[in-house]
Amino acid sequence: MAGLELLSDQGYRVDGRRAGELRKIQARMGVFAQADGSAYIEQGNTKALAVVYGPHEIRGSRARALPDRALVNCQYSSATFSTGERKRRPHGDRKSCEMGLQLRQTFEAAILTQLHPRSQIDIYVQVLQADGGTYAACVNAATLAVMDAGIPMRDFVCACSAGFVDGTALADLSHVEEAAGGPQLALALLPASGQIALLEMDARLHEDHLEPVLEAAARAARDVHTLLDRVVRQHVREASVLLGD
């Protein structure tokens, strides 16, 4: 969009953040009664919730059961009212299927699936309002939901998006920044080991610039980890107070 400065001379972005700054994150665990695990997260204006059912018996064909580990089934759904223009198909379209597949790959890397052979773990993610960074919000919400369900994981999975504007790497892009058309990268990180669960980018970026963008995303993902860790501890503290008394 002509005339819209994504990064001002003083180093401020459209919404007043600094280049490497995250949006405000608020998260809650255990929000739904029916599910085994659930979580709700708000990253700026992006609102996503994740619901986990499992581990349970394989639905549908028994033949799909894996003899040595659990099957992880992820579904991504974006509400029709979540974007500025109404979305015609909330799920089942190509983009949702691709997101579902990426989520599955991310969580297969983190969940200790060998502990639940021949069973299925369902992770459903619903985006209620999309303002950029939907993949990251979904991964963060799903991590909390899987923890709420008590399914053992190798580590937290923390995700963040990053872009590159005017020679500077920006972390946690909002919708305006994503729509501007620059390169964007989505990173899902296992913070303790520093291992990357998923890295996705489909844009042209000079290889010299990859390092700073990746670094910005990783740093932001670690900040997300600090926050999610606090949320989990708070939740456990509240739950133990309820049980103890």
Partner 1 sequence: MRAGGKMAAGFKTVEPLEYYRRFLKENCRPDGRELGEFRTTTVNIGSISTADGSALVKLGNTTVICGIKAEFAAPPTDAPDKGYIVPNVDLPPLCSSRFRSGPPGEEAQVASQFIADVIENSQIIQKEDLCISQGKLAWVLYCDLICLDYDGNILDASTFALLAALKNVQLPEVNINEETALAEVNLKKKTHLNIRNYPVATSFAIFDDSTLLIVDPTGEEEHLATGGSGLTGAKLQDCMSRAVTRHKEVKKLMDEVIQSMKPK
Instruction: Tell me which residues touch partner 1 (CB under 8 A).
Output: 32-35, 45, 47, 49, 51, 53, 56, 59, 75, 77, 79-84, 86, 90-91, 122, 124, 126, 128-131
Question: How many CA atoms lie less than 13 Å away from 71 in the CB half-sphere?
Answer: 16
> Minimum CB separation from partner 1 for residue 223, in Å?
25
Helix (H, G, I), strand (E, B) or coil at 114: helix
- Closer to partner 1 at the Cβ: 45 or 105? 45
> Minimum CB separation from partner 1 for residue 129, in Å?
5
> Minimum CB separation from partner 1 for residue 137, in Å?
14
> Minimum CB separation from partner 1 for residue 238, in Å?
18
Question: What is the spatial distance between Cα 211 and Cα 197, in angstroms, rounded to a whole number?
Answer: 17
> Minimum CB separation from partner 1 for residue 86, in Å?
4
- Closer to partner 1 at the Cβ: 125 or 221? 125
Contact call for residues 232 and 144 (beta carbons, < 8 A): yes
Q: Which of 141, 182, 177 lies closest to 159, judged by CA?
A: 141
> Minimum CB separation from partner 1 for residue 47, in Å?
7
Question: What is the spatial distance between Cα 209 and Cα 202, in angstroms, rounded to a whole number?
Answer: 14
Q: How many residues does the chain have?
A: 245
- Closer to partner 1 at the Cβ: 75 or 106? 75
* Element containing residue 83 per DSSP (H, E): none
Contact call for residues 179 and 6 (beta carbons, < 8 A): no
Helix (H, G, I), strand (E, B) or coil at 59: coil
Contact call for residues 189 and 221 (beta carbons, < 8 A): yes
- Closer to partner 1 at the Cβ: 132 or 191? 132
Pairing relationship of beta strands 71-78 and 119-129 according to DSSP bridges: parallel
- Closer to partner 1 at the Cβ: 83 or 209? 83
- Closer to partner 1 at the Cβ: 175 or 219? 175
Question: How far from chain centre, in Å, is Cα 39?
Answer: 12
